[in-house]
Amino acid sequence: MRHFEERLDELRSRLLEMSGLVEFAIYRSVHAVVDKDEDLARQVLENEAQVNQLEIEIDDMAVRLLALEQPVAIDLRLITAAIKINNDLERMGDLAVSIAERALSLMHEPVVNAQIDIPYMARLVESMVRKSLDSFVKRDSELARNVLFSDDAVDSLRNGIYKEMVRFMEENPRSIPPALNLIFVARSLERIADHATNIAEDVLFLVDGVDVRHHAEAHH
For its own copies, the binding residues (CB under 8 A) are: 48-49, 52, 55-56, 63, 66-67, 70-71, 73, 76, 80, 83-84, 87, 94, 97, 166, 169-171, 173-174, 176-177, 180, 183, 211, 213-214, 217, 220
Q: How far is the CB of 123 from its own copies (least distance, A)?
A: 25
Q: How far is the CB of 166 from its own copies (least distance, A)?
A: 6
Q: Which residues are within 8 A (CB) of 217 and not within 5 positions of it... i.e. 6 or more apart? A: none
Q: Tell me how many degrees the CA angle 202-130-64 measures, rounded to the nearest 5.
A: 45
Question: Which residue, 139 or 167, is less far from its own copies as judged by CB?
Answer: 167
Question: Which residue, 143 or 161, is less far from its own copies as judged by CB?
Answer: 161
CA–CA separation, 58 vs 215, rounded Å? 28
Question: Which residue, 1 or 67, is less far from its own copies as judged by CB?
Answer: 67
Burial grade of 141 (CB within 10 A; 0-12, 13-18, 19 or more): middle
Closest CA to 30 of 190, 172, 147, 169: 190
Q: How far is the CB of 165 from its own copies (least distance, A)?
A: 9
Burial grade of 125 (CB within 10 A; 0-12, 13-18, 19 or more): buried
At 192, the amino acid letter reads: I
Q: How far is the CB of 161 from its own copies (least distance, A)?
A: 13
Question: Which residue, 143 or 169, is less far from its own copies as judged by CB?
Answer: 169
Q: Which residues are within 8 A (CB) of 197 and not within 5 positions of it... i.e. 6 or more apart? A: 128, 132, 147, 148, 151, 216
Q: How far is the CB of 67 from its own copies (least distance, A)?
A: 5
The answer to whether 100 and 32 are in contact (CB under 8 A) is: yes
Question: Which residue, 132 or 181, is less far from its own copies as judged by CB?
Answer: 181
